[in-house]
Amino acid sequence: MLNVDAALAAAASKESSGVLLQLGLVLFGLGLLGLLAHRLKVSPVPLYLLAGLAFGEHGPVPLTVGESGREFIAVGAELGAVLLLLMLGLEYAADELLAGLRHTAPAGVMDLALNAAPGAALALLLGWGPVAAVALAGVTYVSSSGIVAKLLSDLGHLGNRETPTVIAVLVFEDLTMAGFLPVLTALVSGLSVFAATMSVSVALAAVVVVFIVAIRLPGTLARLVFSPNDEVLLLRVLGLTLLVGGLAGLANVSATVGAFLVGVALSGPIARSTAELLRPLRDLFAAVFFVFFGLQIQPTRLIDVLPVAVALAVITAGTKVATGWWAASRAGVGRGGRLRAGVALIPRGEFSIVIAGLTTAAAASTDAFRLDPSFGALVACYVLLLAVLGPVALRLLEVRRLRPDRRTAGFSASTGRG
């Protein structure tokens, strides 16, 4: 009997070692991809998605991590989505969000109308149904705050006249997502009309309460979690975020909305300190999140959906340019700035993948609605295209802007003026 137990323990230990070995290789590989993205000054999101496609069951180097390894990756991916939204909330104070919402409302409504419509229309044309139409509308609507912010910083555009307009549009989108995600969660969960209405009402009520508390009683939550010790502060904030996210999930509200609200409710110096502490964790688990999404997609499906993804990317790149152009023109920005504002809004990224991940996970775990297998592949291909196209287009605009005019250069050379 002892020999059998010893043999089982040895087999389990060997399996555990194999899982750790593969997960270690994956994380180290992601680190190399992140370094490559940093050197190229591009977002690592497309590279992480490609890694997920490569490591998937039908990819060229499929992972065989077993049930425990898959559970680790799944939990890590969920934590990555929660941390992405928490960090996004930490960037905004409640009063700034509301002020930006009032100021940018016309441009925000135009952004929603122009960019959500193509996704919804495509899903309906493909016969995917109304739930998939709502999900794809969210995917095509929201720009990637992370990619856009990094791009503006890398190119030195933070002081440009059009940049406040770009940031205001992004803030409007992020706040819209706080209302959109509960609606989508209710739809994909297959709740009754009454249950769905209650779920969305709870989520919206939570949003209102958080904003009231954050504006009327600033610093309340900050005092609750504050600690001069970094370790204690990190544990308190992360614990509170997971607690609120778990309660939100029990109420059929997306856990990511709860995380976003916790971030908004924290304000002042503690928000900056928390952001600095959480950034490495966010980057780690966000990478796992993007890889996990890619793992669920068959690479061959990307080829099948490529023409549709390209068409959708071209259309929605155009609608984003139109949005930025119009919004910047209302702020009195010149033609060059208007174009830069529109191009800066093109990239899609983390929010689009959060929406797609939420939808595909719900479809896999419930019979409430059937999701076409091409949905995830279309979103992945679409995000890959625009996460690359947007930064490249803005960099080309920057090169063109900085390049001296040939006629002016010739005139200067002929007259001796430099």
Which of 62-71, 167-176, 299-308, 395-404 is the most confident on average?
A: 299-308
What is the Cα–Cα distance from 188 to 369, expressed in whole angstroms?
7
Does the pLDDT value for residue 95 go beyond 90?
A: no
* Dihedral sign of CA atoms 274, 280, 283, 285 in order: negative
What is the Cα–Cα distance from 339 to 3, expressed in whole angstroms?
73
Residue 53 CB coordination number (10 Å): 24
What is the Cα–Cα distance from 272 to 93, expressed in whole angstroms?
11
DSSP annotation of 405 reads P
Going by pLDDT thresholds of 50, 70 and 90, the confidence category of residue 195 is: confident
Q: Which of 35-39, 208-212, 275-279 has the lowest mean pLDDT?
A: 208-212
pLDDT at 100: 64
What is the Cα–Cα distance from 116 to 112, expressed in whole angstroms?
6
pLDDT at 409: 45
Give residue-wise pLDDT tens across range 11-23: 455 566 767 787 7
Which of 73-87, 100-114, 329-343, 385-399 is the most confident on average?
A: 329-343
Query: Which amino acid would we find at residue 411?
Result: F
> 307 burial class (0-12, 13-18, 19+ CB within 10 angstroms)?
exposed
Going by pLDDT thresholds of 50, 70 and 90, the confidence category of residue 398 is: confident
| Averaged pLDDT, 245-261 | 77
Whole-angstrom CA distances from 76 to 70, 71, 79, 286, 300 are 10, 8, 5, 8, 26
Does the pLDDT value for residue 291 go beyond 70?
A: yes
pLDDT at 52: 85
Query: Which amino acid would we find at residue 93?
Result: A
Does the pLDDT value for residue 418 go beyond 80?
A: no
What is the Cα–Cα distance from 299 to 187, expressed in whole angstroms?
28
Q: Which of 207-221, 226-240, 309-323 has the lowest mean pLDDT?
A: 207-221
What is the Cα–Cα distance from 285 to 290, expressed in whole angstroms?
9
The length of the chain is 418
| Averaged pLDDT, 170-196 | 80
pLDDT at 411: 39
Name the strand (E) or helix (H) holding 123: helix 94-125
Taking the alpha carbons at both ends of the chain, their separation in whole angstroms is: 91
Scan for tokens 């297998």, then name that residue. 373
pLDDT at 402: 62
273 vs 191: which has the higher pLDDT:
273
Chain-wide mean pLDDT for the chain? 81
8 vs 372: which has the higher pLDDT:
372
Query: Which amino acid would we find at residue 241?
Result: T
Architecture of domain 31-402: Up-down Bundle (1.20)
Going by pLDDT thresholds of 50, 70 and 90, the confidence category of residue 417 is: very low
Query: Which amino acid would we find at residue 183?
Result: V
Percent residues over pLDDT 70 in the chain: 86
Does the pLDDT value for residue 257 go beyond 70?
A: yes
Does the pLDDT value for residue 103 go beyond 80?
A: no
In sequence order, which ranges of 251-298 are alpha helices (DSSP H)?
Answer: 255-265, 269-295
Structure tokens of 407? 């006629």
Does the pLDDT value for residue 61 go beyond 80?
A: no
Give residue-wise pLDDT tens across range 131-181: 999 999 999 999 988 788 778 877 778 788 888 888 889 888 887 887 888
| Averaged pLDDT, 297-309 | 90
Is 394 in contact with 151 (CB distance < 8 Å)? yes
Going by pLDDT thresholds of 50, 70 and 90, the confidence category of residue 10 is: low
Give residue-wise pLDDT tens across range 326-375: 999 988 889 889 999 999 999 998 889 889 888 888 777 766 668 888 99
What is the Cα–Cα distance from 314 to 322, expressed in whole angstroms?
12
Is 144 in contact with 350 (CB distance < 8 Å)? yes
pLDDT at 363: 79
Does the pLDDT value for residue 416 go beyond 60?
A: no
